[in-house]
A and B are shown apart, each in its own frame.
Chain A
Amino acid sequence: MKSRAVSLPYMLWMIIFTVIPLGLVAYFAFTTSDGEFTIANISQVGQYSGVLVHSVWLSIVATVICLVIAYPLAFILSRKTENVQRTMIMLVMLPMWMNFLLRTYAWMTLLEKNGVINKIFGLFGLGPFNMINTPGAVVLGMVYNYLPFMILPLHSIMLKIDDKVIEAAQDLGASPIKVFTKAVIPLSMPGITTGVTMVFVPAISTFIISRMLGGGSNMMIGDLIELQFLGNAYNPNLGSAISLVLMVLILLCMSVLNQFDADDDREGMIV
């Protein structure tokens, strides 16, 4: 029990399967295909800053929409009776058990020109609307896939907000808006930061959603990486450089989000 030796296999594992692979990414990012040192790859990433900005922008929009949708819902749910809550939360999680590729594919069926939504609009003489293969469709796909990751942490934090706090604020004469901004939001802050990271990180690095709903021209960083490794423009060195940039970008986002979190006495936190 006192011995640290039992963790040796894992330490070895960790070095081989976490440290070395990331080292390899860095190595590839800074070498040419012949193995010579270069920074050309990294500076070449600059040519794709359009993609970078585009992905950051789309994932910020998706994260904000998730937050706006999930926040009221989480609050409403947290004020229900325990049994109702349990069922409702289960219903939020249930879709996550369906393969996400299939769910995204189902959105294609819904959004297409001759898709289900346009057919319904057609009944009222509206449309057809051009919905698929647009940035909007990509954002929708992200919101849909990652919404539960926002609802769940928000809900669990709101459970902890005591009704009495809200009542006390009301009794002290605070307007509903004030109650909200001064009591509910600060108390739910940890849930917000968790939710935001859980939506933002997968959103910014996705390559399936943008491919299926974006028609191949709404490229995201993920697509760019995939394109270099297994796609139509083979260049693993550039791909590694982009991966490295993506990693740094995300670590930065985390450290910024960290600042909203009062509790910083945690063990082994990065940045």
Chain B
Amino acid sequence: MKKFAVMFMAAALTAMSVMSASAVDLPKVEDENYYTKFKDDNISINVYNWGEYISDGSDGSLDVNKAFEELTGIDVVYTTFASNEELYAKLKSGGVSYDIIIPSDYMIGRMIAEDMLEPLNFENIPNFSMIDEKFVNPAFDPENKYSVPYTWGVVGLIYNTQYISEEDAKSWDILWDERYMGDILMFSNSRDAFGIALKKLGYSFNTTDEDEINEAAELLKEQKPFVQAYVMDEIFDKMQGEEAAVAPYYAGDAITMIEANENLAFSIPKEGTNIFIDSMCIPKSAKQKEAAEMYINFMLETEVAAANCEYIGYSTPHAEALKTLDEEISSNPIAYPDDETLENTESFLYLPKATSDLYDKLWTQILSNDQRYNEWFVPILMVVCVAVSIGINIMRSIKKKRNTY
């Protein structure tokens, strides 16, 4: 019954959505002719981006994807992921093809090493020249063959000033502070979470020393009772709604959250922190490479880069866009920290496979329940289960046979 109702509704909805297709104001672009190449080819590209990571037209901002569609006639299928590891799993398991992905530095390194990325044709991305030189040829992609920087930023603590003093928020220690038990949120991806523990211990983010990593894992296990939840995108809701008092997160998102709730503030802990670059790449499975490069180029249009940057709050590597930004944004110390702070940062590098496997394994252990049983527990349990099940069935069939006589 319900289905028919739904069907009718859907028909009505489709009709209405067709009527409501509205135009957007197109941004100014460098070379309009460039974008007309696929105008009538009716193709589509799959863009896989972080959640809340593009100007999407809400609150009067520029709807970047729609503008691109209108300008080029290419259909943008836009989906989101919550962490680099999730993106990696999705690509690695196969079965899906994306034309554009936006991973972070260390993940790009890993993907290059595992031959998952397609080299870019920079002739199709003329706007690359507007990227600030500091961001060209980064450590993870030394010859700059595979990636075009989209944003950068640092990791810090976002905290609620009603509960936490500025002084306390200057160290990662607060995430292990008993007083805030149950009010702490933590990253739900392994690299960021381990990073914080490693920094607190005074180790490098990129250590491959198993003892150091194990030590960090122990620290994260210790932290578990204090943590209210392990989150990624959920953090917006939880910090803005004052469900939690403190959490580590990316600077750009912190700006968005502070805009929504004045009680929030951001600090960069004194132990040092992570500086990251998220770059646009084209994976090997891409089907529309040229159209994807067109999309990358479009993202580098000054107006588009500025709109994205304004909307998502992250720092832009785009030199021209930075100039056009409001003073208020471009001088915000959260997005553009001073050199002294930047000196105390370290970026994540690609870790060898053995180390990333260790990360994955330890992280699963941290998240899973703390109780440990002997590792033979499950195999033995299984054998017992099967035996009991067979036994029961034999008994039953014997009983049945007896009954029939």
Given a CB threshold of 8 Å, the question of whether A touches B is answered with: yes
A interface residue numbers (CB < 8 A to B): 42-54, 97, 112-114, 130, 132-133, 215-217, 219, 223-224, 227-236, 245, 248-249, 251-252, 255-256, 258-259, 264, 271
Q: Give 15 A-B contacts (CB < 8 Å), ordered by A residue.
A: A43-B375, A43-B378, A46-B377, A47-B372, A49-B381, A51-B368, A54-B369, A112-B243, A114-B242, A133-B229, A216-B230, A230-B89, A234-B360, A255-B389, A259-B396
Contact indicator B230/A264 (Cβ below 8 Å): no
Query: Which one of A44, A229, A234, A245 lies within 8 Å of B375 (CB-CB)?
Result: A44
Chain B residues with CB under 8 Å of A219's CB are 367-369
Chain B residues with CB under 8 Å of A130's CB are 182
Say if the beta carbon of B363 comes within 8 Å of chain A: yes
Contact indicator A112/B369 (Cβ below 8 Å): no
Chain B min CB distance to A45 (Å): 5
Say if the beta carbon of B90 comes within 8 Å of chain A: yes
Contact indicator A49/B378 (Cβ below 8 Å): yes
Say if the beta carbon of B371 comes within 8 Å of chain A: yes
Say if the beta carbon of B241 comes within 8 Å of chain A: yes
Chain B 192-232 interface residues, beta-carbon cutoff 8 Å to A = 224, 227-231
Q: A113-B243, A217-B367, A231-B85 are in contact. Are A255 and B393 (CB under 8 A)?
A: yes
Query: Which one of A215, A228, A252 lies within 8 Å of B388 (CB-CB)?
Result: A252
Contact indicator A236/B93 (Cβ below 8 Å): yes
Chain A residues with CB under 8 Å of B363's CB are 232-233
Chain A min CB distance to B272 (Å): 24
Main secondary structure of the interface of B (DSSP, over half): helix
Contact indicator B386/A248 (Cβ below 8 Å): yes
Contact indicator A233/B361 (Cβ below 8 Å): yes
Contact indicator A46/B376 (Cβ below 8 Å): yes
B interface residue numbers (CB < 8 A to A): 2, 83, 85-86, 88-90, 92-93, 182, 188-190, 224, 227-231, 241-243, 359-361, 363-365, 367-379, 381-382, 385-386, 388-389, 392-393, 396, 400
Chain A min CB distance to B295 (Å): 25
Q: A43-B375, A215-B230 are in contact. Are A234 and B386 (CB under 8 A)?
A: no
Query: Which one of A46, A97, A113, A233 lies within 8 Å of B378 (CB-CB)?
Result: A46
Contact indicator B228/A133 (Cβ below 8 Å): yes
Contact indicator A232/B190 (Cβ below 8 Å): yes
Contact indicator A230/B371 (Cβ below 8 Å): no
Chain B residues with CB under 8 Å of A133's CB are 228-229
Chain A residue nearest in CB terms to B397: A264
Contact indicator B377/A49 (Cβ below 8 Å): yes
Chain A residues with CB under 8 Å of B375's CB are 43-44, 46-47, 49
Chain B residues with CB under 8 Å of A52's CB are 378
Chain B residues with CB under 8 Å of A53's CB are 369, 371, 373
Contact indicator B86/A232 (Cβ below 8 Å): yes
Q: Which 9 residue pairs are nearest across A and B when measured between Cβ atoms?
A: A215-B229, A46-B375, A216-B230, A50-B369, A233-B360, A234-B89, A49-B373, A50-B371, A232-B85
Q: A49-B377, A234-B88 are in contact. Are A248 and B364 (CB under 8 A)?
A: no
